[in-house]
């Protein structure tokens, strides 16, 4: 319980960093938009607005996700973190589609080049620095608390950093072109930067939403997690007839593992359940943030050993425990 409280505090600290960082970015980008009138900055500002909303929702979600299981939610409220992931991914994809249409329209019917490109350049550089510092900080906290929602927020900041970098490069190019005979081509730089930004956010946002939806559909542990789980169970193979109905699922940062241990039928009820509890506790120690449900079931006495009149090889080690 104490560890869970520490992780909740870390998550709330990460969300606070994200929230105040997004307020600062919103102020920077809104000022830049009013001064420069750039479609690329408008796109970047829209992404920050999404981040600001998600930060507020995430704060409430973390409070909700930390509630213990109850009659309505037997596995707790951890899945609300994946809802935040999915929400962020879907909204960002929507922004990318809208801005793509706007950018194509500006290419077909060019508007005047963005005013004050040097102002746009320096504002975008400042936004880029804020994003990368925020990403480093949030991802470091996400590593400590193992929260998928905080991890997604850190990746969002990192992505925004690359977007601001792309926008700043486009303004630098526009400022340079304004000094040459190629100045008329500067009108295409803003929509081109917007299209690049749209491409940059579409694929990561799709992967983010896909990952969240799979978790919401109770996908089991990833391959590495399954290998780790089977490796932990392997140490009990000399005392277990069979591992049956091994299942796993995740809800937020919590992993749930369920399985049945087939044990010799002649083993006493007390011994069988003591061994099942021992296996469950060992799995909880081996798999961080896990909850296990291990049940002991008797064998059907139809194995090769017993049908051939041989003694059960699993009984003696169990009786010694």
Q: Report pLDDT digits (tens) over 256-283.
A: 788 888 888 777 788 888 888 888 888 8
Which residue(s) pair with 142 in the sheet? none
Give how far Cα 222 sits from Cα of 2, 86, 164, 249, Å.
28, 19, 33, 10
2-216 CATH pick, 1.20.1510.10, 1.10.3720.10, 3.40.640.10, 3.40.1190.20: 1.20.1510.10
**244 sits in which H/E element:** strand 242-251
Looking at per-residue pLDDT, the higher value among 179 and 282 belongs to: 282
SS3 content of the chain, % helix, strand, coil (to 5): 70, 10, 20
What is the helix (H) or strand (E) element at residue 245, kind and residue range? strand 242-251
Give the pLDDT band of residue 133 (cuts 50, 70, 90).
Answer: very high
Q: Output the DSSP codes for 157-196.
A: HHHHHHHHHHHHHHHHHHHHHTTSTTGGGGGGHHHHHHHH
DSSP 301: S
Residues 2-22 have pLDDT tens digits of 555 676 778 778 888 888 888
Work out the average pLDDT over 242-261: 74
How high is the mean pLDDT of the chain? 76
DSSP string across 42-80: HHHHHHHHHHHHHHHHHHHHHHHHTSPP-SS-TT-STTH
Residues 168 and 162: their CA atoms lie apart, in Å, by: 10
What is the C-alpha to C-alpha distance for residues 138 and 270, in angstroms, rounded to an integer?
Answer: 48
What 3 state SS string does 131-143 have?
Answer: HHHHHHHHHHHHH
CATH number for region 223-320: 3.30.70.1350
- For residue 47, with 0-12 CB atoms within 10 Å meaning exposed, 13-18 middle and 19 or more buried, which class applies? buried
Global pTM value: 0.61
Domain definitions of the chain by residue range? 2-216, 223-320
What does the pLDDT look like over 183-218, one tens digit per residue?
677 777 777 777 887 787 788 878 877 777 776 665
| Distance (Å, whole) CA 304 – CA 137 | 58
Question: Is 263 in a helix, a strand, or coil?
Answer: strand
Residue 297: its H or E element: strand 290-298
């Amino acid at each position: 319980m104490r560890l869970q409280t520490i992780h909740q505090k870390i998550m709330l600290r990460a969300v606070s960093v994200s929230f105040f960082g997004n307020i600062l970015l919103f102020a920077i980008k809104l000022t830049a938009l009013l001064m420069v009138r750039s479609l690329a900055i408008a796109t970047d500002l829209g992404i920050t607005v999404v981040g600001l909303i998600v930060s507020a929702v995430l704060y409430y979600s973390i409070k909700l996700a930390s509630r213990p299981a109850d009659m309505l939610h037997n596995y707790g409220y951890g899945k609300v973190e994946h809802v935040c992931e999915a929400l962020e991914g879907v909204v960002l994809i929507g922004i990318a589609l809208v801005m793509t249409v706007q950018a194509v329209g500006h290419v077909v019917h060019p508007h005047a080049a963005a005013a004050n490109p040097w102002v746009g350049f320096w504002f975008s550089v400042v936004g880029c620095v804020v994003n990368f510092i925020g990403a480093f900080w949030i991802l470091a906290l996400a590593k400590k608390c193992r929260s998928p929602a905080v991890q997604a927020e850190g990746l969002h900041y990192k992505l925004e950093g690359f977007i601001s970098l792309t926008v700043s490069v486009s303004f630098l190019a526009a400022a340079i072109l304004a000094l040459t005979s190629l100045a008329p081509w500067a009108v295409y730089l803003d929509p081109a930067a917007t299209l690049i930004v749209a491409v940059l956010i579409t694929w990561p946002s799709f992967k983010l939403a896909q990952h969240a939806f799979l978790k919401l559909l109770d996908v089991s542990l990833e391959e590495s997690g399954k290998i780790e789980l089977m490796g932990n169970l392997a140490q009990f193979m000399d005392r277990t007839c069979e591992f049956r109905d091994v299942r796993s699922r995740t809800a937020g940062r919590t992993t749930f593992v369920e399985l049945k241990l087939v044990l010799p039928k002649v083993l006493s009820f007390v011994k069988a359940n003591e061994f099942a509890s021992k296996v469950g506790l060992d799995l909880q120690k081996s798999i961080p943030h896990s909850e296990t449900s291990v049940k002991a079931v008797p064998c059907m006495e139809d194995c090769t050993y017993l049908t051939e009149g041989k003694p059960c090889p699993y009984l003696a080690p169990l009786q010694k425990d």
